[in-house]
Amino acid sequence: MSDLENSQKASYAVFFCTLVVVLLTLTPVIFPALYSSSFGMFTENLNPFELGYQSTFLIVSNVVILGFGIAYYKKKIPSLVHDVVDKIRTFEISKRVTIIALAVILGVYIGLSAPELSLDEGADWADYDAVLLPALEIWPFGQTDDIYVQEQNDRYVRMFLLDVSLDIFQNIKLLPFIASILVVVFTYLVTVQFCQKRFAGIIAVIVLLQSYTFLKFDTVAVYENFWVLFFLISLYVIEKKWFLSPVFYILAFYTKAYVAPFFLMTLFTTYRSQISRRTKIGILISYVILVSAAIALIFLGDTVYPDVIDVNYSKFILGFQVIIAQLRFDLFFIMLLLPVTVGLMFLSKNKLKHADSILILIFGTIIASPILVTFTYHYEILPYRFIPLLIFFSIGVGMFFAKNSKIHV
């Protein structure tokens, strides 16, 4: 009984923390100047309670969706409608149909995105000529006084893969695009692993591929998805080949240091996984060892990271304002983020244990950026960093189609 009580307490704690950061993120949609009026540099002539242009959309959609969801949960809707929703949520597809559906979805996605491989990276992204190319020219052993160029070459795995894509395949965009395709595939695999439903995986893939931000950066070498792919794989192999999880996490870390705090979310996902306690302890120990070694290399080795620390606490709240501004074109995400967060709590109460995992992953991928800019001047909050958030949001949507004989919601 104590284990069950502890599990429930953990679920409520995760939900509360996630709800807080979600509300902090969505508040600027309704009141765009609220945070700037208190924490910004230029506070005069700002009306903190002036409504934003998306405020009506957010409020109305959330009231409707949350209202319907609560009515469904309480069985206060017409039985015919309730039965239709139940049939959709319990619907499953065969492996053969799944393979065909995935092939069609990926085929359409690849066909529509492949022409982007011929675009001039430098014409679209200034950092390509200013930062990435100079870094590749001195990779792997060259030195430079430019801190931004040097920081690129501290990301060893990323630079190796980009160098291979450019030198061997003569197109720096090719391997980043392949990584994005694999991100879609592993979004499906992680969803199925968490939900035990193939249909849920298909839904998650569709939600991800409608994302403006994902499609904008899926072939961009400067802001590639290698780190996202490695982190997704590290989550997927927890229940398959657990000893590979920290390996892929370290690959993600040396692709992009931004993923550093994500290991905490991995440990929580491990805690919620259907594996033995001995295996969980093994994963914990391996992560502690690897993360400690990585931190030691950062602060004792010749990297730029210790030199870019600069604390500014006002940036923390302002960071949430920047997040939603960067994701303003992802209307489906804005509309459903709060309902999905609340709904995952109900799914968790009804024995879908990995609903908590998705909540903590949403929490972590939101709060990481405000924390980052609070403690360093070197980085800005850029939209491509929220691709993991969009992935876990997509998996969260898929979880609502995970109802089966073992899950009664």
**Mind listing the pLDDT tens digit for each residue in 253-304?**
999 988 988 988 999 999 888 888 889 999 999 998 888 887 777 666 656 5
3-class DSSP assignment, residue 31: coil
Would you state the pLDDT for residue 406? Answer: 45
Neighbours of 173 (CB within 10 A): 23
| Intra-chain end-to-end CA distance of the chain, in Å | 22
For residue 28, is the peptide bond before it cis, meaning its omega torsion is within 30 degrees of 0? no
- The structural domains of the chain, with segments of one domain joined by +, span 2-119+173-399
Task: Say which residue the tokens 């800005």 belong to.
Answer: 380
User: Beta partners for 309?
Assistant: 376
Stated pTM of the model: 0.93
**For the residues 32-39, what does the mean pLDDT come to?**
88
Would you state the pLDDT for residue 119? Answer: 92
Between residues 257 and 227, which one has the greater pLDDT? Answer: 227
Query: Lowest mean pLDDT: which of 3-17, 71-85, 101-115, 295-309?
Result: 295-309
Helix 174-195, helix 156-167: angle, nearest 10: 130
Task: Say which residue the tokens 């604390």 belong to.
Answer: 311
Do 265 and 228 meet the contact criterion of CB atoms below 8 Å apart?
no
Q: How confident is the model at residue 108 (pLDDT cuts 50, 70, 90)?
A: very high
3-class DSSP assignment, residue 125: coil
Task: Say which residue the tokens 């206060």 belong to.
Answer: 76
Do 94 and 199 meet the contact criterion of CB atoms below 8 Å apart?
no
CA distance 281 to 294: 20
Do 389 and 232 meet the contact criterion of CB atoms below 8 Å apart?
no
Residue 161, token pair as written in the block: 């893969």
Would you state the pLDDT for residue 1? Answer: 44
pLDDT tens-digit profile of 334-389? 999 999 999 999 998 887 888 999 999 999 999 999 998 888 766 688 999 999 99
One-letter amino acid for residue 231 of the chain: F
CA distance 364 to 20: 12
Between residues 119 and 292, which one has the greater pLDDT? Answer: 119
Neighbours of 76 (CB within 10 A): 11
Say what percent of the chain tops pLDDT 90.
Answer: 64
Between residues 311 and 395, which one has the greater pLDDT? Answer: 395
CA distance 392 to 379: 23
Between residues 311 and 332, which one has the greater pLDDT? Answer: 332
CA distance 352 to 345: 9
Do 137 and 117 meet the contact criterion of CB atoms below 8 Å apart?
no
Do 32 and 52 meet the contact criterion of CB atoms below 8 Å apart?
yes
One-letter amino acid for residue 25 of the chain: T
Would you state the pLDDT for residue 405? Answer: 46
3-class DSSP assignment, residue 156: helix
Residue 321, token pair as written in the block: 């304002």
Q: Residue 376 — φ and ψ, nearest 5°?
A: -150, 145
Q: Is the pLDDT of residue 251 over 90?
A: yes
Task: Say which residue the tokens 């931000």 belong to.
Answer: 213
Nearest Cα to 182, choosing from 228, 248, 125, 237? 228
Q: Is the pLDDT of residue 31 over 60?
A: yes
Q: What residues have CB less than 8 Å from 372, skipping those under 6 apart?
A: 258, 319, 379, 381
CA distance 333 to 327: 8
CA distance 344 to 350: 10
Between residues 3 and 127, which one has the greater pLDDT? Answer: 127
**For the residues 133-137, what does the mean pLDDT come to?**
91
Do 353 and 364 meet the contact criterion of CB atoms below 8 Å apart?
no
Q: Is the pLDDT of residue 409 over 50?
A: no
In Å, what is the CA distance from 353 to each residue of 91, 402, 404, 406?
20, 12, 14, 12
**For the residues 314-321, what does the mean pLDDT come to?**
89
CA distance 248 to 267: 14
Q: Is the pLDDT of residue 407 over 50?
A: no
